[in-house]
Structure 1
Amino acid sequence: MSHEHHHHADASSMKVGSFLGATLLNLAITAAEVAGGLISGSLALLSDALHNFSDGFSLVLSYAAFKVSGRARNRRKTFGYKRAGILAAMINSILLISVSVFLLQEALVRLFHPSEVQGGVVILLAFVGVVGNLFSVLLLHRGSRESLNVRAAYLHLLGDLAASFGVIAGGVFILVLHWKWIDPVVSILVSLYIFAQVWGILKKSFNILMQGAPEDFSVAEIEAAVRRVDQVFNIHHVHIWSLDEHELFLEAHLNLRQDLAVSETSEILNAISKILHDTFGIEHTTFQVEYQCCPGVGAIVEEGR
C-alpha cells in the first residue's frame, strides 16, 4: 500500500479582532433594534434584531471552530480538528434556517392581522443596523473567500445587511403611504432571502461531513486518467472525499499488468499522484497495489472494471 500527499498552508488568516469587532457590533445592533422594535411595534425590526442576535452567536461559534481547527493532529485525532469549521458552518446554517422559518411564521400571522407601526423609528434603527452590519461585513470579507466556516458567518451578516435595507424601505412605505401590510411582507422577503443564501452552505457542509465526493467531481474521469498511465490494468474500489473545503483525499485499489519491483511500482504511483494533484486538485492519495486478483472480492479483476 502506498500513500502520497501534498501539503499546503492553512488558507484562513482571520484575526481575533475581526471576529470580536463583528460580534460587538452585532450585539449593539441587536440591543438597539429590540428597543426600537418594541417602541415602534415593527415585526420587521424585531425580526432583524433576532437575526442579528443569531449572528452574534454565529460569530462566536465560528471563531471557536476557527481556533479548534488550527490544533495539531495527534495519535487519536490523526486528521487533526479541521472539520470543526465544517461542523460550525453546518450548525450556523441550521440555526439561520430555523430563525428564518420562525420569522416567516410570525410574518404570515402579522400579514393577516396588521398592527400600527411607527415608520420613523423603524427607519432610524434600521439605518443603525445598515451601518453596523456594513462594518461587520467588511471585517469578515477576506476570510469569507478562504473558509466555509467564515463564509457561513459572513452570509449571516450579508443577510442582515439586506434585511436592514428592506426594513428601511418598509419604514418609508409605512411613513409615506401608511401601508401596514408592508412590514410583514418585508419580513417574509428577508426570511426567503436568508434561506436561499444559506442552503448552499448547508448542502456542502453535509456532503463533506458525510464524506461525499465534491459535486463537480467525475469519478469516471479520474478512473480514466489513472488507467491511461503505463502498466495500470485497472482501478477500482475508488473512494473520494474532502477533509474540509480545501483538502481532497482519494483511496483506491490499483491492479497492475505485471508483477513489478517495488521501485518500479513507486514510480507508477508517483506519476498517478502527480496527475491527480495537477489535474483534479487531489492532495492525498492512498493505493492498495494488486496483481491479477483483488483480495477484497476474491476474484480476478477485469480490465476497466
Structure 2
Amino acid sequence: MSHTEHHSSSGTSGSNSPHDHEGEHSHDHSLEVTDKNARAVAWAGLLIAGFMFAELIGGWLAGSLALMADAIHMVTDAASLGLAWWAFQQSKKPADARLTYGRDRLPVLIAFANAIFLLVVTIWICVEAVGRLMEPQTVLAGPMFIIAVLGLLVNIGAFLILQHGGDGSLNMRSAILHVLGDLLGSVAAIAAAVIIYFTGWYPIDPILSVFVALLIVRSAVTVMRQSAHILLEGAPAQIDREVIRKDLLAEIPELRDVYHIHLWSLAEGKVNATMHAAVSAEDNSSVVVQKMRTRLKAVHGIGHVTIELSSHSEPVSTPLDASSTVSDTG
C-alpha cells in the first residue's frame, strides 16, 4: 500500500482565482463591520464618561448606594467601552511574523475581561449593600431622583447606540451588558428615591442595588463562558465533526475516508479546521482538496482549512481522532 501526503491551506489559491475576489470582499465587509462596532462603542463611551462623574458626586452627596453603585458601573463601563474600541482598532491590523493569525481574537479577550469586571463590581455592590442593611443610612430622595432620571436618559442613549450600531458579537454584547446594568441601576435608583420620599424606608436603596447586581450576573457568566470557550480553542457549538465527515464522504465520491478532524474558532464567525483525508491512488489530489475546501466553506462556514491527503488502495475506516485517548474539544 503506497502513501503520499499533501498539505493544502485555504490561502493557497492563485492570485486571479474567484476565491481571492471572494476573500477580498469578505475582508472588506469584516473591516466595515469592525469600523461600525468601533464607532458605536466610541460614542457610547463618550456619552457615559460625560455623565459618570456627575452621578458619582451626586450619589455621594445624596448618600445613595444605588446611585453610587450605578456610577461605579459607569466608571467600569467607560473603561470597558474604551478597551472594546481599542480591541476593534487592533483587530484591523494585518497579521505579521509574530502574530501570524492577526489580532482577531483580541475583542474576545476584552469581552472575557469585561465579564470579569462585571462580576467584581457585583460582588462589591452586594458587600456594600449588606453593610447598609445592617446600618441604614439617610438618603436624600430629591437629589437622588433627579440624578437617577438624568442617568437613565444617558444610559438609554448609550444602549440604543450600541444596540443599533453593533453586530451582536461577544465584545459588543459585553459592552451592551455593561450599559444595560447601568440602565437597570438607574431604574432601581428612581424606584428607591420614590419609595424613600413617600415612606422614608431607607433599606430599599441597598435592596434594589443587590437586585440589579444579581440581574446581570447570569448574562456576565454567559459572556465569560462563551469567550473562554473561544480562547481555549473549543469547537464551535454549531458545527458537528461527524456531520462534516458524513457530508464530505457523501458529496465527494473520490474520498474514501475523513478523520482527525479538529475545529476551533479564531474569533467569532472565523472557524479554522485541520483534517486528514484518504483518496484512491489514481485520483487527482488537488481536485479533491479543492472540492473539500469549496464544500467546507459553502456549507459549513469553515473559511480556513488545512487538509492532509493520503493515497490508499483500501478503505481506511479510521475514527475521527484515532490518535487521542482523551476527550477532544477541538
* TM-score, with length taken from structure 2: 0.83
Q: How much does 1:57 deviate?
A: 0.4
Aligned to 1:241: 264
Aligned to 2:133: 111
CA RMSD of aligned residues (A): 2.1
1:288 aligns with 2:308: yes
Give 3-state SS (helix, strand or coil) of 1:81's partner: coil
Shifted more, 133-142 versus 159-168: the winner is 133-142
Q: Deviations over 1:79-113 (max 9, x none)?
A: 11111111111111111111111112211232232
Q: How does 1:91-110 map to 2 (within 5 A)?
A: 91-110=113-132
Give 3-state SS (helix, strand or coil) of 1:141's partner: helix
Q: 1:12, 1:146 within 8 Å by CA — same for their partners in 2? A: no
1:269 aligns with 2:289: yes
Aligned to 2:60: 38
Aligned to 2:228: 206
Q: How much does 1:212 deviate?
A: 0.7
Identity %: 31
Give 3-state SS (helix, strand or coil) of 1:73's partner: coil
Q: How much does 1:29 deviate?
A: 2.2
Matches of 1:237 and 1:194, distance apart in 2: 40
Q: How does 1:14-93 map to 2 (within 5 A)?
A: 14=36, 18-93=40-115
Q: How much does 1:301 deviate?
A: 4.1
Matches of 1:110 and 1:61, distance apart in 2: 33
Q: How much does 1:15 deviate?
A: 6.9
Q: How much does 1:16 deviate?
A: 6.1
Aligned to 1:182: 204
Matches of 2:302 and 2:255, distance apart in 1: 19
Query: Of residues 308, 313, 317 in structure 2, which corresponds to 1:302?
Result: 317
User: CA 1:212/1:16 → structure 2, altered by over 3 Å: closer, same or farther?
Assistant: closer
Matches of 2:272 and 2:261, distance apart in 1: 11
Give 3-state SS (helix, strand or coil) of 1:252's partner: strand
Q: 2:34, 2:92 within 8 Å by CA — same for their partners in 1? A: no
Amino acid at match of 1:85: P
Query: Of residues 151, 158, 163 in structure 2, which corresponds to 1:129?
Result: 151
- Listed as ranges, the gaps of 5+ residues in structure 1 are 294-299
Q: How much does 1:37 deviate?
A: 1.4
Aligned to 1:297: none
Q: 1:92, 1:152 within 8 Å by CA — same for their partners in 2? A: yes
Amino acid at match of 1:3: S
Matches of 1:303 and 1:90, distance apart in 2: 37
Shifted more, 213-222 versus 95-104: the winner is 213-222
Q: How much does 1:160 deviate?
A: 0.9
Q: How does 1:195-234 map to 2 (within 5 A)?
A: 195-228=217-250, 229-234=252-257
User: CA 1:303/1:22 → structure 2, altered by over 3 Å: closer, same or farther?
Assistant: closer
Q: Deviations over 1:22-55 (max 9, x none)?
A: 2232223221121221122111111000000000
Q: Deviations over 1:228-276 (max 9, x none)?
A: 22122222211101111121111111122x1135xx2222222222322
Shifted more, 216-225 versus 5-14: the winner is 5-14
Aligned to 1:2: 8
Q: 1:4, 1:270 within 8 Å by CA — same for their partners in 2? A: no
Matches of 2:188 and 2:310, distance apart in 1: 62
Give 3-state SS (helix, strand or coil) of 2:35's partner: coil
Matches of 1:171 and 1:183, distance apart in 2: 8
Q: How much does 1:162 deviate?
A: 1.6
